[in-house]
Structure 1
Amino acid sequence: MKLGYIRVSSKDQNEGRQVEKMLELGIEERYIFIDKQTGANFDRPQYQAMKMFIRPGDLIYIDDLDRLGRDYDGIIKEWKHITRELGADIVILSNPTLFDSRKYKEMGDIGKLMEDQFLSLLSFVAEQERKKIKRRQAEGIALAKKQGKHLGRPKINLETISKEQRKTLEANFERWKNQEITAVQFMKMLGLKKGTFYKIVKEYESSQAS
């Protein structure tokens, strides 16, 4: 039986493209399992449901390897569990030349050895890439600190609000003080959250008093 597994990182992302691919392969919609969450681990409801559904001889299609997951040590473990313990096969549509477990099975024992070596190489390359990314991030943060750049969200205060916000503040501050408009209305007019709003109006009031 053909099964399809789809994963997108969040509920806001559209899985339509992946679904279309699965349907074109002749996979029935009821046999397409879709998760909308991170690939950091394999504790995903639809992925676990699919594993319980798998029977020997089934063929599982996945659009890309990172749709299966982003933990490459975990990918190797799951790949071997599905192909060797559950007796199913996996095809990665983005690279079926390398990622098609049927090809390795056809080679017998030598195929299993080649598959092990390939998966180990995959894990090594992925680990090196993770280290490279972390190193670049650390170097970037260190350089930004050295240059005195502020990291994280920019601070919002009376000096950093836009000209439009400043004009709105000046035009409506006394109206707010005289209770002609509510704080909630004033916040919406300024486009500010509660904490930032009270901080800025306090700064403004202090500036007018000085």
Structure 2
Amino acid sequence: MLIGYARVSTPAQSLDLQVDALVQAGCDKKKIFTDIASGSKTARPGLDKALDYAREGDILVVWKLDRLGRSLGHLIEVVKGLSDRGIGFKSIQESLDTTTSGGRLIFHVFGAIAEFERDLIRERTNAGLEAARARGKKGGRKRALTDKQISIGKSLAADKSRSISDICQTLKISPATYYRYIHQ
């Protein structure tokens, strides 16, 4: 039996592409387990359910290698665990099938390439952030209030006859911003 597993990193992403590909590959829609979690997260209940559900002779199918493992080490660990239990593994995008000796060899090569690609992306991102910092740029959101606005807000707050909503209305800020910057 073919058992599917699909994962996306954030709720804003859709599982539809992966689920459709798994169904087209022969997985029963009722036998597709899913997660919405970053690949770096260790807690993935959908994967745990898929691994518990799989029995000897079954094949776990994923859309792409990086959907299964957090790292090359984890990917190899999961596939070896499946193999030890007599369960095969297929990756649709990489046309990989570990039920064959050639598939097992290619699995290790593609796993290494996928990890290499993720490392390159991480390195490029970090290099870009460092270059921006070197040019004096700061990451994150801009402050909601300037120092002058904070000073005015504190002066208004010192006047006990003024309400918080009045101060917020005067400065055109929300109560949360008031408490974050003025009320201390």
Q: Same fold (TM over 0.5)?
A: yes
Matches of 1:157 and 1:23 in 2, distance apart?
52
Query: Does 1:3 find its partner at 2:3?
Result: yes
Contact 1:158-1:200 at 8 Å conserved across structures:
no
Segments of structure 2 that go 5 or more residues without pairing to the other structure are: 150-160
Answer with 1 or 2: which has the greater Rg. 1
What is the RMSD computed on CA atoms of the aligned residues? 3.6
Matches of 2:167 and 2:8 in 1, distance apart?
37
Matches of 1:63 and 1:184 in 2, distance apart?
54
Greater RCO between the two (CA within 8 Å, min separation 6)? Answer: 2
Aligned-residue sequence identity (percent) comes to 26
What corresponds to 1:34 in structure 2?
34
Query: Does 1:21 find its partner at 2:29?
Result: no
Matches of 2:26 and 2:167 in 1, distance apart?
54
Q: Match for 2:165: what amino acid?
A: T
Query: Does 1:80 find its partner at 2:105?
Result: no
Query: What's the TM-score, normalizing by structure 1?
Result: 0.64
Q: Secondary structure at the match of 2:50?
A: helix
Contact 1:7-1:35 at 8 Å conserved across structures:
yes
Matches of 1:157 and 1:127 in 2, distance apart?
42
Aligned residues: 174
Matches of 1:81 and 1:25 in 2, distance apart?
23
Q: Match for 2:138: what amino acid?
A: H
Structure 1 residues 1-210: aligned runs within 5 Å: 1-82=1-82, 84-96=83-95, 99-104=96-101, 111=102, 115-116=104-105, 118-158=106-146, 182=165, 186=169, 190=172, 192=174, 194=176, 196-197=177-178
Question: Measured at CA, do residues 89 and 152 of structure 1 come closer, stay the same or move farther in structure 2, by a change above 3 Å?
Answer: same
Q: Secondary structure at the match of 1:148?
A: coil
Contact 2:168-2:175 at 8 Å conserved across structures:
no
Segments of structure 1 that go 5 or more residues without pairing to the other structure are: 105-110, 162-176, 203-210
Q: Match for 1:136: what amino acid?
A: R
Q: Secondary structure at the match of 2:19?
A: helix
Residue by residue, what CA displacement relative to the aligned partner does 1:92-117 show, whole Å, maximum 9, x if unpaired? 11121xx111232xxxxxx4xx735x
Q: Secondary structure at the match of 2:130?
A: helix
* CA positional deviation for 1:60: 2.0
